[in-house]
Structure 1
């Protein structure tokens, strides 16, 4: 028989059980803190990827140079002044007399509208005309008045014609001492010999209008006349002689007053604009200084010979 141990026996000792290991998460042996950090990083990466995809979808084709995204319209380029023209800003306040002139230039009987073939690029507002009347060099337009016969003798033999195919207009080819000269920047050019001491050379030129065509030919002629001051001495001023309709257009005749070495001088000039087969109206411009007054009659000859084609 086996002897039972006496509980009071000092030699009998109890052995304690070992402690249970700490609980671990189900994801291997990683602690929960590490798991949370990994999940947070994953969420950030997913959000960033979604933002990139959305940006690419909404950008459309706007990432291509020179293109705009759908729904946007590029603003039209600002209008640029014609070569050699002096910029004059439209004054916010225009005198009553100037306003009256602006209104008078649009009356049905005084305005010849361009043909449908020349309406492309026509100004849609009258800001340029208002600016022209605000220019101190350009007075109010006179009432319609035909050009009188000017002093001198006509220099035109027979039916000699100069054809400006670029502008779509024919005009008289004047005889000697007039001669054909280098046309640039115009389409055609006829000149008289230079006079010593004269700041202006007599010339007859034709070309498409160098300014933006207006809805009414009279307004276009006004802006063209103002533009011709670039071919006269600085600070030249206009004094009107005649204003009249011509076939498919308008004619303005005027004096251009200026000073040479402190002495008052002037030229007789005319500008005619007319619609033609070309995409823009044609302009014929003639100017003859007072030192060559025997040739003033050629102004009548030229303007009466203009034929749009």
Structure 2
């Protein structure tokens, strides 16, 4: 019997060791993953938006996931030329896409030019001279142009007739005609918003090109013209004249201006 009791004691000791080992074993890794430690959500403030816990934990930049293989590529819109020169387009392509400026066709006629004026305004920056117009026209502070002549101000509007000269403010083209077209488009910056051009006359002049056109904006119009001429300077010269319909009596002076542009010297 003594041997039996001794054997039972040994078995009991082994069982106790096994139980102890089971108790001290660490939890399985899966249990750690299943119960992550997270920060408690921040209490919402009375004046600002609620911030989620996930937003407060993240401290690094957000990285967007790459598209999975086989996903269709995202199509990007191709920029189209408009009133301003869009990237990737030449000036003439932008002009062709501008709805404010119609195509200049052979149907646009020439106009008869009057005799040049003897009295002129000289522009040393462009190497050009333009007729000095009689009253009610008067010389005026030219900035940002080289020379400027204006008609009197009218009540209730800032529009009034003006004749200005300056070095060409746009990119010169190989053709004087194309350069004049771009210059006419540029002059819309000096007409009311929404203005559109319709051509009245187009013809070459000595060392350049001339365009005469109507500018329509709402219920009103202006008559205008540009002359591009090489005055021997680093850039061609621009002569721009415009007269609103409220001063239509001076529309006849537009012909006088474009007829009298000449090179100095």
TM-score calculated relative to the size of structure 1: 0.56
| Cα root mean square deviation, aligned | 2.3
Deviation at 1:89, TM superposition (A): 2.3
Alignment of 1:223-234 (within 5 A): 223-234=182-193
- In the superposition, relative to structure 1, how do residues 238 and 290 fare at CA in structure 2: closer, same or farther (>3 Å)? same
Contact 2:113/2:259 (8 A) holds in 1: no
Secondary structure of the 1:163 match is: strand
Runs of 4+ with >6 A deviation: none
- Equivalent residue for 2:260? 305
Residue 199 of structure 1, CA deviation:
4.6
Provide closer, same or farther for how the CA distance between residues 275 and 149 of structure 1 changes in structure 2, counting only shifts above 3 A. closer
**Relative contact order, higher structure (CA 8 A, sep 6+):** 1
Equivalence for 1:212: 171
Q: How big is the shift at 1:201?
A: 1.6
Aligned residues: 182
Q: TM-score, normalised by structure 2?
A: 0.64
CA distance in 2, matches of 1:198, 1:270: 21
The structure number with the bigger radius of gyration is: 1
The alpha-carbon deviation at position 159 of structure 1 amounts to: 1.6
The equivalent residue for 2:100 is 137
Structure 2 stretches lacking a partner, 5+ long: 1-81
Alignment of 1:106-185 (within 5 A): 127-143=90-106, 145-147=109-111, 159-185=118-144
The aligned counterpart of 2:34 is none
How far the C-alpha of 1:276 sits from its partner, in A, is 1.4
Given that residues 84 and 94 in structure 2 are in contact (C-alpha distance below 8 angstroms), is that contact kept between their aligned partners in structure 1? no
Pairing partner for 1:285 from 223, 240, 251: 240
How does 1:265-284 map onto structure 2 within 5 Å?
Answer: 265-284=220-239
Unaligned runs of 5+ residues in structure 1 are 1-84, 93-126
